Amino acid sequence: YKIAVLPGDGIGPEVMAEAIKVLQVVADKFQFQLTLTEALVGGAALDATGVPLPPDTLALCKASDAILFGSVGGPKWTGLAPDMQPERGSLLPLRKTFDLFCNMRPGQIYPAFADLSPLHPRVSSKGMDVLCIRELTGGIYFGEKGRSGDTAFDTQRYSVAEVTRIAEVAFQAAQKRGKKVTSIDKANVLQTSILWRETVEQVAKNYPDVTLEHMYIDNAAMQLIRSPQQFDVMLCDNLFGDILSDEIAAIAGSLGLLPSASLNGSGFGLYEPAGGSAPDIAGQGIANPIAQILSAALMLRYSFGEEAAAQAIERAVQQCLEQHIVTRDIDPKSTYGTAAVGAAIVATLQ
Amino acid sequence: YKIAVLPGDGIGPEVMAEAIKVLQVVADKFQFQLTLTEALVGGAALDATGVPLPPDTLALCKASDAILFGSVGGPKWTGLAPDMQPERGSLLPLRKTFDLFCNMRPGQIYPAFADLSPLHPRVSSKGMDVLCIRELTGGIYFGEKGRSGDTAFDTQRYSVAEVTRIAEVAFQAAQKRGKKVTSIDKANVLQTSILWRETVEQVAKNYPDVTLEHMYIDNAAMQLIRSPQQFDVMLCDNLFGDILSDEIAAIAGSLGLLPSASLNGSGFGLYEPAGGSAPDIAGQGIANPIAQILSAALMLRYSFGEEAAAQAIERAVQQCLEQHIVTRDIDPKSTYGTAAVGAAIVATLQ
Ligand SMILES: CC(C)[C@H](C(=O)O)[C@@H](O)C(=O)O
Ligand SMILES: CC(C)[C@H](C(=O)O)[C@@H](O)C(=O)O
């Protein structure tokens, strides 16, 4: 398997180093071959080449079977035009080029770490285990937009085909989980939401074992805080998914543990931690590598079909969590750093 | 002052009855005249006339100086076309007809009731006192939209003039409060957000005593949960304000205490509680009348300039809260009902 490794900025390179060690161990153990090739992205690429996604990097991604992405951005590169911004200028073209229409972001309140959640114990003790499925290549992100004189506009556009393919992913995911899909829209205001809702109902007919529920985005933003345990799979368009997946991450309270996958229809994917480049703690060896390592596990599962290896990584992470081998973001009293947590996961795997 | 009273559905009529008693007492005490005229809206209007906002109701509103709105909707009226839905079909035309471009929704964590908040005490004990200022007559709510075959679209449009007028309200409000405006956008993706951000920066120049900060909507959804005490005035477009104001209400945890005001440029306004019609508890005499009563206070302040009367109501409410004269949503052990809380506020005023 050929992997384009794009560490990026801030803590990206540090946590990526641990993910690579983990990948090499499972490749040995489960007997598959990995070719890992690094390239520049984000601020690092801006500094070296003047653009956040250089042609060489894009070419490498095209020649690979998956992208393992770190994180990008930092105070050094603020105030640039949108297309030049480290995050936006790299992620949006990658999503569009590879038709990565499906973003999956799990968010859990781990019982043993419920106290990480900023929610009240009476709420967080009931747990949360949400999978946010976000449409990633359509909607208002990519519709016609412009400025003329004193007015600007953006267009949100969705087709039945676009909604169908993301809805199918959501229902299939729900079948393997809690068997419930909550589809998010604003069908009392938006025409795209009415189409969204109708299409999701059509798709639901093929999944009679899954319960479908519709919820307005404003109510969903509220319900996630009041009783997050009511959700299983949340199905969102691009903009609503952007907002709710970050709200879910905040509720989980453990950004450093949350991976994400962005997939197309042929198994190609971009895998990245849900958190950012955290420039404030970069270079200190204290960043949490787990979200990056779990992102690598998702890559093994979704792009390479190496389910056993993916599960082995997830189990090893789980064991380290149980033994409280964690960085300071998870337990302020902990003395483990990035490399120590990575090494513990590697040791558990061996 | 002529007031169009639109109680609506569910708990609307019960809580409105208490607000009216309070209004009559302060009118006596502060020596002004109120003419209160009731009309149908929402589901009640649908049942009686077939539409959620009958022409008679609209005519009454036009002949009045302000609208005191209850709450609308319920299970009886679901599944209707958007224009016929009780809430959407009444609120959107009222906003547009009266150019109610400015929605103000305060959200507090009251120190004495911090435990109402679903946030962890380590967060909620720091308090929250946010005023969400939402643009209410533009954006994707009212832009061109449609459906053709298998595709639907919505357009978000904003002009410099539209952003300027709402930004000015936000900065003026901030001057009287914490002197900070956090403007919410998605300027890394949306052209309307770039215009929004530029325009807000222009307006900010006239308010050098107010600190301006920009925040992406996804980050704001996260930050509100992680540290709501960082915010003072949040300035949002129509869609982002819809989402964040409900998130703020959830964080406050006390929907029954939260009023809102929707204003135009000439002092006309629509005042309504932030919560819904709560059909599950309607008719039981247990609904919290405070949000409706505080909405009436906002009406006295913003539409009639009766600041002393508004403050008197707010103080009376505060005293009842301090004496724990509250309904069960605020204190499950309380035995006070809707009328008892209303009566206590009236007694305090007298
Ligand atoms: C950087 C930005 C364009 C991006 C988005 O809005 O999609 C980010 O917030 C994300 O969620 O990956
Ligand atoms: C009913 C609906 C159209 C409305 C809105 O989205 O503005 C409501 O959610 C609100 O916030 O007042």
| Chain segment B39-93, per-residue pLDDT in tens | 999 999 999 999 999 999 999 999 999 999 999 999 999 889 999 999 999 999 9
State which ligand 1 atom lies nearest to the alpha carbon of A95: 7
Closest to B257 (Cα-Cα) out of B219, B222, B296, B292 = B292
With 90 as the cut, is the pLDDT of residue B168 above it? yes
Residue A161 CA to residue B54 CA, distance in Å, equals 39
Angstrom CA distances, B175 to B103, B108, B129, B172, B309, stand at: 18, 18, 15, 5, 22
Residue (of A36, A68, A39, A71) closest to A53 by Cα position: A39
- Ligand 1 atom closest to residue A85's alpha carbon, by position in its atom list: 1
Report the pLDDT value the prediction gives residue B113, as an integer from 0 to 100: 87
Chain B closest CA to A308's CA: distance in Å?
34
Structure tokens of A17? 């180093």
Q: Which tokens hold the place of B126?
A: 């720091």
Average pLDDT, chain B: 97
Is B2 tagged catalytic?
no
**Closest in B189, B218, B246 to A141, CB measured:** B189
Beta strands A145-148 and A151-159: pairing type?
A: antiparallel
Nearest ligand 2 atom, CA B242: 11
**8 Å CB contact of A187 and B82:** yes
- Mean predicted lDDT score pLDDT of chain A: 97
pLDDT of residue B111: 81
Atom 10 of ligand 2: nearest residue by CA position: B242
Among the partner residues A123, A143, A222, nearest to B247 by beta-carbon distance: A222
Cα separation, B238 vs B245, whole angstroms: 10
Closest-CA residue to A129 (of A140, A139, A114, A143): A114
Measuring CA to CA, which residue among B177, B217, B179, B178 is closest to residue B197? B217
Q: Note the pLDDT tens digit of each residue in B238-284.
A: 999 999 999 999 999 989 999 999 999 999 999 999 999 999 999 99
> Residue with the nearest Cα to atom 6 of ligand 2?
B242
Residue B220 CB coordination number (10 Å): 25
* Residue A29 CB coordination number (10 Å): 13
Among B69, B84, B87, B295, name the best residue to mutate to test ligand 2's pocket (greatest count of ligand atoms within 8 A of Cβ): B87
Ligand 1 centroid to residue B189 C-alpha, Å: 8
A273: left (phi over 0), alpha (psi -120 to 50) or beta: beta
Nearest to A153 by CA among B95, B193, B284: B193
State the Cα–Cα distance between residues A281 and A12, nearest whole angstrom.
11
pLDDT tens digits, B139-148: 999 999 999 9
**Long-range contacts at A332-337 (CB < 8 A, ≥ 24 apart):** A337/A285, A337/A286
Distance from the Cα of A10 to chain B's closest Cα (Å) equals 18
Mean pLDDT (whole number) for B191-197:
98
A188–B145 CB contact, under 8 Å: no
Rg (CA), chain B: 20
Instruction: List chain A residues with pLDDT less than 70.
Output: none
Burial class (CB in 10 A: 0-12, 13-18, 19+), B288: buried
Q: What is the pLDDT of residue B79?
A: 87
Give phi and psi for A245, each to the nearest 5. Answer: -65, -35
User: pLDDT at position A110, please?
Assistant: 84
Nearest Cα of chain B lies from the Cα of A260 at a distance, in angstroms, of 16
Backbone angles phi, psi at A299, to 5 degrees: -60, -45
- Determine contact, residues A255/A292, Cβ cutoff 8 Å: no
Q: How far apart are CA A141 and CA A117, in angstroms?
A: 30
SS (H, E, C) chain B: CEEEEEEECCCHHHHHHHHHHHHHHHHHHHCCCCEEEECCCHHHHHHHHCCCCCHHHHHHHHCCCEEEEEECCCHHHCCCCHHHCCCHHHHHHHHHHCCCCEEEEEEEECHHHHHHCCECHHHHCCCEEEEEEEECCCHHHCCCEEEECCEEEEEEEEEHHHHHHHHHHHHHHHHCCCCEEEEEECCCCCHHHHHHHHHHHHHHCCCCCCEEEEEEHHHHHHHHHHCHHHCCEEEECHHHHHHHHHHHHHHHCCHHHCEEEEECCCCCEEEEECCCCCHHHCCCCCCCCHHHHHHHHHHHHHCCCCHHHHHHHHHHHHHHHHCCCCCCCCCCCCCCCHHHHHHHHHHHHC
Measure CB to CB from residue A152 to each of B123, B158, B247 and give the nearest one.
B158
Q: Looking at residue B112, what is its pLDDT?
A: 80
Which residues are registered as beta bridge partners of B273?
B259
Q: What is the pLDDT of residues B10-50, one digit of tens each?
A: 999 999 999 999 999 999 999 999 999 999 999 999 999 99
A242 contacts in chain B (CB < 8 Å): 186, 217-218
Q: What is the pLDDT of residue A113?
A: 87
Comparing CA positions, the residue from B27, B97, B103 lying closest to residue B263 is B103
Q: Are A183 and B228 in contact (CB under 8 A)?
A: no
